[in-house]
């Protein structure tokens, strides 16, 4: 690796912050240079279990940060820059992070708290990944941002590329949610749709390999996960959760999982807090998935989640992949967690339930977390008195088709108030007085 590239990775790190020292395999610990962010672990790929890379630092992250003064810092995820790859002053930021953690007793799931990531600038948790990834893209001298996405990742990449003044190419597929495609285009992205979903990776891979486009999302298979610098942004969810509970972390954290980027990032964040002595333990983590791939690997003990095609597409398109990742599997095994497979009827039911009972409209993928908690409470895996944090990854406005099919058509009323009351009774079950 050239000296110039190493300097670019360290250029915007304060003297009191750790700097990226290497990229390390999440499974076997092999070390690669800091500019190998568009690759996976060659050793694990040779063994048949391709694994993602994560950032290793030249000192313990957060070692210089005064825990008592965090609340006085800027209210974005970059107030945790002592744990990240760049200083807040040099970050590409739209004000992401510091999202609310809301108690949700009306769901009937016990002591459950919703970490509402729909409050981020592009209305999803992907803003944390995009902010961190694009910040490092600029430091590496990238000229084009590239993403393959069904929606949230592409919208976030487009927005942060616009903020950084960089062009962005997003590969999506025919049939992707129209509001999400419109959102990508609204931020100025050059959006290209393909008939075959797999062509997204083929085309993005060509751009990365031939032209040096900077990838924020997966772009080759088997998928190992997203850009390791981007995934560092997800650590801040763990920091915020721990801080909100006065450093007494919850027993469980449940996430909707496709490739496990946020799952790995949160676990890494909790591990860093424990290493500093700020917390005493790491929560057990749960992957709520739709394919059953990770659950199958947990049951079999295999090192690689299998490809598990569905008989019908999931309504949770953002977690609709048929195969999980090594990084997700590693987190569940190391944290003592588990995976739950969720079907469409449960997803639709919980989209409606969370909106009607807590006033939060989740995307279908986010509803998987509540279905998983319901299942694990019922079978005793999650104890009745255990505190659980549910990650709500994005707003239901990202894909309105789910709510439109889950609820009856909006009734049209002619006449006066008596007709209105009759309609409320017949359609909604409401009885006045």
pTM of the model: 0.95
Q: Domain spans of the chain?
A: 3-62+123-225, 101-122+230-406, 408-433
Q: What does the pLDDT read at residue 383?
A: 97
Whole-Å CA distances, 372 to 201, 257, 350, 391 = 30, 11, 10, 12
User: CATH classification of 101-122+230-406 is 3.40.50.1100, yes or no?
Assistant: yes
Q: Residue 381: what pLDDT?
A: 98
Q: How many helices (H) and strands (E) does the chain have?
A: 15, 13
Q: What does the pLDDT read at residue 2?
A: 35
As a whole number of angstroms, the distance between CA 382 and CA 89 comes to: 41
* Spatial separation of the C-alpha atoms in residues 328 and 266, rounded to whole Å: 11
Q: Give residue 12's pLDDT.
A: 64
- The pLDDT value recorded for residue 7 is 54
Please give the pLDDT value at position 16.
73
- Fold agreement between 3-62+123-225 and 101-122+230-406: yes
Position 1 scores a pLDDT of 34
- Rounded to a whole number of angstroms, the CA Rg of the chain reads 22
CA separation, residue 307 to residues 101, 134, 197, 400 (Å): 34, 31, 16, 29
Query: What is the rounded CA–CA span in Å between residue 322 and residue 312?
Result: 11
- On the question of a cis peptide bond just before residue 266, with omega within 30 degrees of 0, the verdict is no
Sign of CA dihedral 91, 92, 97, 98: positive
Indicate the class that CATH gives domain 3-62+123-225. Answer: alpha beta
Q: What residues pair up with 288 in beta bridges, in sequence order?
A: 256, 340
| pLDDT for position 64 | 86
| Averaged pLDDT, groups of 10, the chain, 433 residues long | 47 77 97 97 96 96 90 92 95 98 98 98 98 97 94 96 98 91 96 92 95 96 96 98 98 98 98 97 98 97 95 91 97 98 97 97 97 98 97 94 91 94 94 83
Whole-angstrom distance between the N-terminal and C-terminal Cα of the chain?
75
Q: What is the pLDDT of residue 310?
A: 87
Residue 109, token pair as written in the block:
């799931």
pLDDT at site 344: 96
Say how far apart CA 83 and CA 19 lie, in whole Å: 10
Q: How many CA atoms lie within 13 A of 322 on its CB side?
A: 12
Calpha distance 354→298 (Å, rounded): 29
Give the DSSP letter of residue 22: E
């Amino acid at each position: 690796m050239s000296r110039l590239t190493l300097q670019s990775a360290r250029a915007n790190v304060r003297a009191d912050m750790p700097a990226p020292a290497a990229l390390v395999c999440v499974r076997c610990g092999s070390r690669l240079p800091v500019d190998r962010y568009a690759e996976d672990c060659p050793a694990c790929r040779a063994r048949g279990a391709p694994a993602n890379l994560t950032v290793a630092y030249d000192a313990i992250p957060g070692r210089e940060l005064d825990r008592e003064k965090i609340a006085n810092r800027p209210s974005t995820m970059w107030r945790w820059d002592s744990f990240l790859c760049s200083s807040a002053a040099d970050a590409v930021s739209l004000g992401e992070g510091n999202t609310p953690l809301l108690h949700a007793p009306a769901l009937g799931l016990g002591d459950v708290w919703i970490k509402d990531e729909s409050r981020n600038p592009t209305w999803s948790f992907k803003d944390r990944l995009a902010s961190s990834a694009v910040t490092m893209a600029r430091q590496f001298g990238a000229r084009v941002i590239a993403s393959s996405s069904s929606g949230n990742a592409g919208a976030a990449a487009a927005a942060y590329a616009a903020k950084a003044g960089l062009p962005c190419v997003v590969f999506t597929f025919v049939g992707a949610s129209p509001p999400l495609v419109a959102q990508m285009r609204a931020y100025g992205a050059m959006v290209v749709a393909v008939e075959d979903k797999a062509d997204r990776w083929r085309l993005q891979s060509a751009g990365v390999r031939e032209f040096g486009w900077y990838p924020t999302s997966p772009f080759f298979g088997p998928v190992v996960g997203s850009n390791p610098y981007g995934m560092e942004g997800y650590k801040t969810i763990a920091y915020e959760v721990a801080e909100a509970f006065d450093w007494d972390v919850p027993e469980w954290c449940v996430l909707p999982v496709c490739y496990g980027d946020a799952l790995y990032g949160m676990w890494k964040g909790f591990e860093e807090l424990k290493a500093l002595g700020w917390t005493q333990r790491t929560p057990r983590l749960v992957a709520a998935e739709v394919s059953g791939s990770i659950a199958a690997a947990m049951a079999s003990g295999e090192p690689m989640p299998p490809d598990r095609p569905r008989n019908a597409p999931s309504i949770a398109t953002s977690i609709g992949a048929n195969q999980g990742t090594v990084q997700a599997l590693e987190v569940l095994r190391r944290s003592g967690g588990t995976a739950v497979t969720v079907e469409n009827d449960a997803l639709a039911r919980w989209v409606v339930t969370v909106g009607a009972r807590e006033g939060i409209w989740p995307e279908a993928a986010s509803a998987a977390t509540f279905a998983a908690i319901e299942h694990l409470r019922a079978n005793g895996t999650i104890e009745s008195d255990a505190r659980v944090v549910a990650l709500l990854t994005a707003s239901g406005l990202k894909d309105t088709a789910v709510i439109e099919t889950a609820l009856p058509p909006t009734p049209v009323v002619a006449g006066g108030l008596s007709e209105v009351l009759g309609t409320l009774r017949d359609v909604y079950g409401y009885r006045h007085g």
